Chain A
């Protein structure tokens, strides 16, 4: 007799748990608002856009014809487009490498015992919140022949390497990379920092007791733990670098002499200025494929490495 209530309590608890599980499977309703916005704004127009790349639509006229791979054949034969693709990859890789190297170094610097670490974290991230159009105008002035960068070089006795940083076709592309790295190194830093703070303090302490130097401590203890932040950082900077538009558009507009033309500026010009909308969108589709290949490729590579 004494066991009966316990059994029924257990049974009631089990039936409640089943109820919860049934409730859980009804939770898909919660996806609806997000899904509606996402389908309407991102997925469906992207599919429409991809389909338009196979037409000759100019963006305005009511009629359009299916032209198959016509736009892509035009793209292959367009030396400007080929150069822009190469340049976009170069910019994306440069930004990815330099921004993450700088971000990692300053993250290590502020993830230490220095007294100013909290203030420095806040300050070094600050450029990342500023409007890229605004930073682009600021740097356009800084990089001009009589701007602050050349003035600083004079001050440091390096007057010999003064340049027209944005006016010289060989240099302009690197100047743009510099501006992007300056603005977003703090972003990489914060992500690395978040990861480093999850590493057990005891392990780090033990390395001090064992007399490991900073280089050894980084390489043997911190680096192997950084896989999550490296993945996210590389992904973000590759995607950001490939899609780069605002800074290029404001600082050089693709010039001088087309020397900083990227896929984004070229597609903007074709779609919105030259009235060749479907060609512009074909470039966008190639950009999408590049983004997908590079980001999933690096993801696969890194997750394989972290398994080994």
Chain B
């Protein structure tokens, strides 16, 4: 049995922990600097002379981060919910129908993985303006649903292809409608990959910077990354304040990740089988 723990494993364990510690030095410095006073003489690697939470209070108020967190949450939840429904629905024929139209449609969706979003950004900007959606969170919701559709369909289709079709066939023979088969059988089977799709799409939506910078500029309705950008622009070189703002804005996404980490890491495994 190769699962023996030898002295070599021990050395590997030490090396890997050292690597992880090295990876986390930046995060340590981030939290460390956010907890000290601006005039603290301690170096960036040393602990603060006196601890303070004042930076967090100031960043929260002056950065208008509460409003930004609400906006980012609304945009993420709505667009990812629509993405999950549309992409899983589309994956069903794409994975199960071997006809030419199905293959052509799948290929057309995959082209979207290659197109840089900058190409579509401005023509879409003018369309959004004409529709009166500019400056509202709905312009971004619409944008993310379209932008992340290829990636979500790619994950769903790959996963579904690796699953046997027997359950669906049995349900269809029992007289279920195509949508009934999808909803009661296929969508339930897709659950593990839905977890992966949700977390990866939420990360992409939450972290996007350029699109909200353009589509929401001057509206007072901002997302977290853009709020951070103008906040830092305003308090440039007040690093303790800035770092507290950074911690507040990355905390929600990190919490979601740590809660769903099992699904995320397992989901990759199932996504790769396709």
Q: Which residues of A contact B101 (CB under 8 A)?
A: 28
With A42-B146, A151-B44, A190-B268 as given contacts, are A137 and B228 in contact (CB-CB < 8 Å)? yes
Assess whether A131 is in contact with B13, with CB atoms less than 8 Å apart.
Answer: no
Assess whether B271 is in contact with A194, with CB atoms less than 8 Å apart.
Answer: yes
| Contact partner, B272, options A135, A191, A284, Cβ 8 Å | A191
A105 and chain B: residue at smallest CB distance: B19
Q: Which residues of A contact B85 (CB under 8 A)?
A: 33
Please give the distance in Å from B162's CB to the nearest CB on chain A. Answer: 11
Instruction: State whether the Cβ of B225 lies closer than 8 Å to any Cβ in chain A.
Output: yes
Instruction: State whether the Cβ of B15 lies closer than 8 Å to any Cβ in chain A.
Output: yes
| Contact partner, A155, options B45, B120, B228, Cβ 8 Å | B45
With A133-B225, A281-B122 as given contacts, are A291 and B242 in contact (CB-CB < 8 Å)? no
Q: Which 9 A-B pairs have the closest CB atoms?
A: A41-B146, A45-B120, A48-B123, A27-B93, A34-B90, A194-B269, A148-B44, A45-B123, A114-B13
Please give the distance in Å from A217's CB to the nearest CB on chain B. Answer: 10
Please give the distance in Å from A133's CB to the nearest CB on chain B. Answer: 4
Q: Give Cα A271–Cα B82 distance, bound, in whole angstroms.
A: 31
Instruction: State whether the Cβ of A100 lies closer than 8 Å to any Cβ in chain B.
Output: no
Give the total of A residues in contact with B, Cβ under 8 Å. 103
Interface bits A131-156 vs B (CB < 8 Å: 1, else 0)? 11111011101100011100110010
Q: Which residues of A contact B105 (CB under 8 A)?
A: 28, 31, 35
Please give the distance in Å from A36's CB to the nearest CB on chain B. Answer: 9
Interface residues of chain B, those whose CB is within 8 Å of chain A, are 1-5, 9, 12-13, 15-17, 19-20, 23-27, 29-30, 33, 43-45, 82, 85-87, 89-90, 92-94, 96-97, 99, 101-102, 105, 108-109, 111-124, 127, 142-143, 145-147, 149-150, 153, 169, 172-173, 178, 182, 199, 203, 206-207, 209-210, 214, 224-225, 228-229, 232, 239, 242-243, 246, 249-250, 253-254, 257-258, 261, 264-265, 268-269, 271-273
Please give the distance in Å from B263's CB to the nearest CB on chain A. Answer: 12
